[in-house]
A and B are shown apart, each in its own frame.
Chain A
């Protein structure tokens, strides 16, 4: 007799356990952040007076297109950081910045193709 009463209970508990099992699985461990190699690049420090009516000018070599966005790499805390900008008319080898830079940033120059947003930069003294 006894086993007859226990069976439905066991079954129901089993059923619930099965449903629990369906959602289980251990979450994967986080991937450690990539360690990017430090790059040695020349930089230029913009010295644009904020009160000036003229727009900020940057060397044309500092401009990059990253993922379709026009921008520059700004040096901040030893890292190259992408900054989106709006580029106006070229003036010789310089570009007029319409928006995105305030004029006191340090821009990274040189070969920018392997510079990533977040690459450590050591300043190459000219």
Chain B
């Protein structure tokens, strides 16, 4: 900085001090500063160890399923009587974002999703209130609605899988039951449950022939059992001053009591249950299968079998607790009880440990942060000398610690995004201290300066521009708080932590930095010389800049060049040199495979397909193990929760969760592994008719499907037809779209038993008896539970007809009823069995009937696949002549057929729209604050001229990465980088303009002032830029946040180089014109 400025500023310094100066004068020689130091370090370490760790920030989306049953109602009836009224009732609820309905046979489910970030408890209370107050509107014959909240906190953070080659599933479950009892005592656990294995029950297998013989019907037995299996506290007897309670009843306590139950009389002799049924105590029918298989990377003891039956213990954690400590507690307890409770032949595998995952994710990033700090420190040593550098260095952990402590205080968790925010602000947070130290150094280099007042006045001097520069950065980030949808809370740590870190860095720069500088900053003659003699960089800059300032033609050429460059860069996306995507895929250690067989497929064929998937998985070198669940979904994860996979219960569904070895020990990413699996999986699909999806964990918020076409229209039958055409003619023919599916279900057969009312009435049988008997006959019937004190799960008494006796519809004819007269009436006499096509479910979204067509991306970005399909549908009619009206944001009109693109495409559009909006708001805010600072409308525009220059770096930066890595996208994180850049580059040009103004106030000519300011500011500007570039370089390799780093590095690079020329030149030209105007005005 030049001398005249200081005189100018120092003149009024002792009396009028700004905030910066006052803070410094208080702290520069105070013992409080040492306290700040100590407190910050302690608070920071506490925060690091105590704050809950997560991999990604938790997104709270209150949601609930409302299940209403109306036995016998067709889907059409359910639609009219239940779904439509219920959806309209719920739609009016405050805070409700979306409602989804599904009308099925005898049942309707409405899913209510509240806006992201709504209070969960309050939303649920409102929902219950709404439903309870509308109960009177329920149509007759409907059962009470069941409200099942979908709770993120119930997603298990840990699963422990027990498996054995020798023990069957039933005994394995009993072992798991014992283990679970211990594990759920661990502090911080909440919901726990078991998956796999069959529970103990009393199986009552009826023999229809003997029931005929004794003339006992199912209903008789049921009545007897229900009347027997009760104990009622009947009151108390008082005698002799003591009270004895009396309990009456005949509760059944074991299988033999059930066996000896008298169910009827035949020829004046009792008929026992054992006379007409086989009663066993043990596992029941197989409803689903759960097992584990081991891949090549498995490190435990191998089983002789490829796959073993398994029981998985799932453990969720309480809200607000630290997954890391809960998981560690569970593991410690497991280790402790293992020798006592788990027999030697049982394998124990930890198949999910989100605590460890979170810890590893956080530790990896702390590692990155450390590398970033070390590189920045090395840079500082080179630029500032080790003494000044070490003062700046001690401020870095202080700022980080205080930021983490503030985060802990407001209840944030430490997650990947928090740490990215810290890495991102690293380059910026050292800047404040650098500016302060540099200026103190300059003051000290003057002869005869008093160290104390020198430090204070040095800070005071740069206070205003530093404040301003810091606030522009904060302003650039703050509007990101207003990003809507699930992406909002996901990114929220950035607009929170960066401003906190910036404010902290400012405070530290004014307090701790001058305090340290006052004590330790020493001058050496060499350094003195180094600082003030221009190096080759400055000389080179001066030459080029001097020529540009001198020649008008050169200047014009320069600006033309910049404009041309800008135009070329902006054209890059159009030529697909820069590709857009919401978020790139993350490299994770796990993925899921879901199997949907055609509706009506039995458990065994589904199991066969799943075993084939296991065969494929066992050939993948990086697979450690995989858990298959056939007949129901596996242990739910966050992605599955929002995709609604928990409703996929039935023999035709299966899910395989694949665990890979640690990503750091792998050469292939999970994305590549999944990609390499696809050919084998699609061959299996073609062979078996199954629909198999490879579900990767999304890097950001989950969506129902990456590509989602919602098709709306007046006729549902037509919608199904259109969906089929969209699926096979559009989706299937688009490159890279895989895992295609639609919400239509396959045609299945149903047997409808039509009771002839006249015949039934004449025989004395009520249709309800028919229905109840059939239910017991086919599905089995739970007639209460036996009362065994020690059992951990209820032991149900299960009535059923053995499987071999219920195979064909003709078997149904053997069912009989007994009328009040005691005569046996067979089903065939009073009813007809007719095969019909099963009615199909009807789906709704926000009260509109909808059919979904879904797809995933093999490789590449869904943006281009969707645009391709959009273009196709825009220009083509479907096979049956329908022209779909397409929308991206709003719902199409319900009078014609329309398609709305959802999934990741809409999320992408929403996020880029919100981020674009945030960017615009940030720019306006920066402009406003600059106008207030410069008291000019034009100067801020020149200062902000640096913002568009960043794009010259950002797009080519992504294009280069695309060339190197392949499939590198401009993502939401890249966009965050662009927003951050706005704040950063304005800071540089602001200090540049500030210096020009200072030089001019000191009496320099315009050209000289512009040139000198550039020369003086060049080093600090380059230092800041290099600090940002080196600081963020550690992030480049991250699959998700690499885009942010690339944006920052390339944008800072381009903008810094260009700012040094463009900003002074524009200012020069502007001022020249102004001067000319004034001159002509005066003349």
* B170 contacts the other chain (CB 8 A): yes
The reply to whether B306 and A117 contact each other, CB–CB distance below 8 Å, is yes
Measured CA separation A118–B615 after assembly (Å): 10
Q: Which of B170, B198, B297, B520 contacts A30 (CB 8 A)?
A: B297
Q: Does the CB pair A69–B390 fall under 8 Å?
A: no
Asked if A8 is at the interface of the complex by the 8 Å CB criterion, the answer is yes
Closest to A8 in B: B394
Provide the residues of chain A in CB contact with B393, threshold 8 Å: 8-9, 12
Q: Check A68 against B170 for contact (C-beta < 8 Å).
A: yes
Which residues 304-351 of B sit at the A interface, judged by CB distance below 8 A? 304-309
The answer to whether B390 and A9 have CB atoms under 8 Å apart is: yes
Is B602 a contact partner of A20 (Cβ separation < 8 A)?
no
Nearest to B624 among chain A residues (CB) is A30
- Tell yes or no: B48 within 8 A of A by CB: yes
| Residues B603 and A84 in contact, CB atoms below 8 Å apart | yes
Chain B residues lying within 8 Å of A28, measured Cβ to Cβ, are: 299
8 Å CB contact of B289 from A29, A33, A69 = A69
A20 to chain B, nearest CB (A): 6
User: B296 contacts the other chain (Cβ, under 8 Å)?
Assistant: yes
A116 to B607, CA, bound (A): 17
Cα-based distance from A116 to B359 in the complex (angstroms): 39
Docked complex Cα distance between A87 and B807 (Å): 10
Q: Are A116 and B304 in contact (CB under 8 A)?
A: yes
User: Taking the nearest CB of chain B, how far is it from the CB of A55, in angstroms?
Assistant: 8
A82 surroundings in chain B (CB, below 8 A):
305, 307, 611
Q: Is B377 an interface residue (CB 8 A)?
A: yes
Q: How far is the CB of A113 from chain B (nearest CB, A)?
A: 11
B304 touches A67 (CB 8 A): no
Q: Which residues of B contact A9 (CB under 8 A)?
A: 377, 390, 393-394
**Contacting residue for A34 out of B302, B363, B662, CB 8 A:** B302
Given A88-B803, A116-B304, A30-B394 contact (CB < 8 Å)? no
Give Cα distance in the complex from A10 to B1013, angstroms.
Answer: 37
- Among residues of A, the one whose C-beta sits closest to the C-beta of B300 is A31
Task: Tell me whether B165 is interfacial, beta carbon within 8 Å.
Answer: yes
State in angstroms the CA–CA spacing of A65 and B167 once bound together. Answer: 11
Q: Which of B752-810 contact A (CB under 8 A)?
A: 803-805, 807
A19-B165 in contact (CB<8A): no
Neighbour of B370 across the interface among A13, A68, A84, CB < 8 A: A13
B397 within 8 A of A: yes
- Check if A67 sits within 8 Å of B308, measured CB to CB: yes
Shortest CB–CB separation between residue A107 and chain B, in angstroms? Answer: 14
| Contact of A5 with B296 in the complex, beta carbons under 8 Å | no
Of B363, B603, B607, B624, the contact of A19 (CB 8 Å cutoff): B363
Alpha-carbon distance A68/B169, docked complex (angstroms): 6
The contact of A22 among B198, B291, B363, B605, by CB within 8 Å, is B363
Q: Which residues of B contact A87 (CB under 8 A)?
A: 803-804
Per-residue B-contact encoding for A51-79, CB less than 8 Å = 1, 0 else: 00001000000000111110000000000
Task: Classify chain B: how many residues form its interface, as a range.
Answer: 35 or more
- Complex Cα distance A67/B168, Å? 4
Check A13–B374 contact: CB distance below 8 A.
yes
Chain A residues with CB under 8 Å of B300's CB are 31
Answer whether residue B665 sits at the interface, using C-beta atoms and an 8 A cutoff. yes
Interface pair A30/B299, CB less than 8 Å apart: yes
Chain B CB within 8 A of A126 CB: no
- For A34, what are the chain B residues with a Cβ–Cβ distance below 8 Å? 302-304
- Could you mark each residue 6-29 of chain A with 1 if its beta carbon is under 8 Å from any beta carbon of chain B, else 0? 101100110111011011000111
Residues of B within 8 A of A122 (CB): none
Given known pairs A20-B366, A69-B286, the reply for A88 and B807 (CB within 8 Å) is yes
Whether B366 pairs with A19 at a CB distance below 8 angstroms is yes
A96 adjacent to chain B (CB < 8 Å): yes
Assess whether B993 is interfacial by the CB under 8 Å rule.
no
Residues of A within 8 A of B298 (CB): 30-31
CA distance A5 to B298 in the complex (A): 49
Task: Name the one of A27, A29, A55, A86 contacting B803, with C-beta atoms under 8 angstroms.
Answer: A86
Question: Which of A1, A33, A67, A96 has a CB less than 8 Å from the CB of B309?
Answer: A67
CA A120 – CA B45 in complex, angstroms?
Answer: 58
A32 vs B299: C-alpha distance when bound (angstroms): 8
A38: interface (CB < 8 Å):
no
Using Cβ atoms and an 8 Å threshold, which residues of chain B touch A4? 520
The distance from the CB of B516 to the nearest CB of chain A, in whole angstroms, is 8
**A 80-98 to B, binary, CB cutoff 8 A, 1 in contact else 0:** 0111111111000000101
Q: Which residues of A contact B168 (CB under 8 A)?
A: 65, 67-68
List the A side residues contacting B387 at CB < 8 Å.
Answer: 2, 5
CB-contacts of B656-677 with A (<8 A): 661-662, 665
B401 closest partner in A (C-beta)? A12
Residue among B167, B360, B363, B661 with most chain A CB within 10 A: B363
CB distance from B469 to the nearest CB of A (A): 26
Q: Which residues of A contact B296 (CB under 8 A)?
A: 30, 33
Near A by CB (< 8 A), chain B positions 175-198 give: 197-198
Contact between A89 and B169, CB atoms less than 8 A apart: no
Q: How far is the CB of A74 from chain B (nearest CB, A)?
A: 9
* Residue B718, interface by CB 8 Å: no
Cα separation A36 to B306 with both chains bound (whole Å):
11
- In whole angstroms, what is the CA distance A81 to B1032 when docked? 53
Query: Is the beta-carbon distance between B390 and A23 smaller than 8 angstroms?
Result: no
A110 surroundings in chain B (CB, below 8 A): none
Q: In the complex, which residue of chain B has the Cβ closest to the Cβ of A89?
A: B804
Q: Are B377 and A67 in contact (CB under 8 A)?
A: no
Q: How far is the CA of A100 from the CA of B609 in the complex (A)?
A: 11
Report B1062-1081 CB contacts with A as 1/0, cut-off 8 Å.
00000000000000000000
- Inter-subunit contact B374/A69 (CB<8 Å): no
Residues of chain A lying within 8 A (CB to CB) of residue B390: 5-6, 9
Q: Bound complex: CA of A98 vs CA of B811, how far in Å?
A: 14
Determine whether the beta carbon of A118 is less than 8 Å from that of B306.
Answer: yes
**B1083 partner residues in chain A, CB cutoff 8 A:** none
Name the one of B45, B309, B363, B608 contacting A69, with C-beta atoms under 8 angstroms: B309
**Chain B residue at minimal CB-CB distance from A88:** B804
Residues of B near A17 (CB, < 8 A) are 370
B522 close to A (CB within 8 Å): yes
List of A residues within 8 angstroms of B374 by Cβ: 13
The reply to whether B397 and A12 contact each other, CB–CB distance below 8 Å, is yes
Query: How far is the CB of A80 from the nearest CB of chain B, in Å?
Result: 10
Select the residue from A5, A9, A66 with max chain B CB neighbours within 10 A. Answer: A5
Give Cα A116–Cα B602 distance, bound, in whole angstroms. 25
A66–B168 Cα distance when bound, in Å, is: 7
Asked whether A116 and B604 contact (CB < 8 A) given A19-B366, A69-B289, the answer is no
The answer to whether A33 and B604 touch across the interface, beta carbons within 8 angstroms, is no
With both beta carbons as reference points, the residue of chain B lying nearest to A76 in the complex is identified as B615
- Asked if B948 CB lies within 8 Å of chain A CBs, one says no
A47 neighbours in B (Cβ, 8 Å): none
B947 part of interface (Cβ distance < 8 Å):
no
Q: Are B394 and A5 in contact (CB under 8 A)?
A: yes
- Asked if B370 and A16 make an inter-chain contact with CB atoms under 8 angstroms apart, the answer reads yes
Q: Does B737 contact A (CB under 8 A)?
A: no
- Contact status B366-A33, CB under 8 Å: no
> With the chains together, A13 CA to B370 CA distance in Å?
8
Report if B301 contacts A (CB, 8 A): yes
The 6 A-B pairs at the shortest CB distance, nearest first, are namely: A67-B309, A100-B604, A68-B168, A68-B169, A23-B363, A5-B390
9 more contacts with CB within 8 A, not counting A12-B396, A19-B366, A99-B605, are A4-B520, A22-B363, A30-B661, A31-B299, A33-B302, A67-B169, A68-B168, A87-B804, A118-B305
27 A-B contact pairs sorted by A residue (CB < 8 Å): A1-B522, A5-B390, A5-B516, A16-B366, A19-B48, A20-B366, A27-B665, A30-B661, A33-B302, A34-B302, A34-B304, A65-B168, A66-B309, A67-B291, A68-B170, A82-B307, A82-B611, A86-B602, A88-B803, A89-B804, A89-B805, A98-B602, A98-B807, A100-B605, A100-B607, A100-B608, A117-B307
Q: Contact residues of B with A, CB < 8 Å? A: 45, 48, 164-165, 167-170, 197-198, 283, 286, 289, 291, 296-309, 359-360, 363, 366-367, 369-370, 373-374, 377, 387, 390-391, 393-394, 396-397, 516, 520, 522, 602-605, 607-608, 611, 624, 661-662, 665, 803-805, 807
